[in-house]
Amino acid sequence: MKLYDYPQAPNPRRVNIFLAEKGIDVEKVTIDLMKQEQLADSYRQKNPACDVPMLELDDGTCISQIRGIVHYFEAAYPDTPPLLGKTPAQKGLVEMWEHLAFMNGLLAVAEVFRNTAKGFSDRAVVGPHNYPQSSELAERGAMRLPNFFKDFDQQLGQNEYVAGTDYSMADITTLVTCDFAKWIKAEIPEDCKNLRAWYSKVSARPAVQANS
């Protein structure tokens, strides 16, 4: 089994923290995004979505997308700490909050970053196809991010962790989003005290420290 990885980028970091929390060791192969190695033919044949991370199983099965990879590991390693919920209701809440963190937080930051960064002039969307940057979308992302911070601050005023009482994948995506926001010079606002306290707590976890 091999994990194709680029630890500097936010999406691979989500999987790397997840694996460290579960104590799973996987052989890693670096795909250098700065050299656009994700678009090379040899990698594209394994992963037509041309993104990282991607997990190649010993039988040749290739699983891309964070959701795909974490669900594989959660099911294949049932004796490791669960990060996608234990009960049916918890499983639902983890998926719900992870999706909201991704859609309203991580994508908002990505909308700003990918539509303004110089090196991404025709690479505004992750994947095999080139699309031009959009200044309107960068502006929208910048409008959306403060609402993400405010909404998650409210949720963390009523819950210890993003999806409720237990640390989960929803916390990992939210944490990575808060750090990714620094790439666009944004940070958790001063008045989001619940989110800031939670951020300090989860940032101190050994699995997060080891992937920072």
Residues that bind a copy of itself (CB under 8 A): 48-49, 55, 57, 59, 61, 63-65, 67-69, 71-73, 75-76, 85, 87-89, 91-100, 104, 124-125, 127-129, 131-132, 134-137, 140, 143-144, 147, 151, 154-155
Closest contact distance (angstroms) between CB of 205 and a copy of itself is 24
Q: CB–CB of 175/203 below 8 Å?
A: yes
List, in order, residues 6 or more apart from 178 with CB less than 8 Å away. 105, 187, 188, 195, 199
Closer to a copy of itself by Cβ: residue 173 or 208: 173
Q: How far is CA 198 from the centre of its chain?
A: 17
Measure the CA–CA gap between 135 and 26, rounded to whole angstroms. Answer: 39
Closest contact distance (angstroms) between CB of 206 and a copy of itself is 26
Give CA separation, 60 vs 67, 117, 201, in Å: 19, 35, 39
Closer to a copy of itself by Cβ: residue 77 or 205: 77
Closer to a copy of itself by Cβ: residue 90 or 205: 90
Cα Rg of the chain (Å, integer)? 17
Closest contact distance (angstroms) between CB of 209 and a copy of itself is 27
Residue ranges in 7-116 assigned as alpha helix (H): 10-22, 41-46, 66-76, 88-100, 107-114
Closer to a copy of itself by Cβ: residue 160 or 203: 160
Closest contact distance (angstroms) between CB of 125 and a copy of itself is 7
Closest contact distance (angstroms) between CB of 1 and a copy of itself is 11
Measure the CA–CA gap between 197 and 39, rounded to whole angstroms. Answer: 40
Measure the CA–CA gap between 90 and 97, rounded to whole angstroms. Answer: 10
Closer to a copy of itself by Cβ: residue 13 or 114: 114
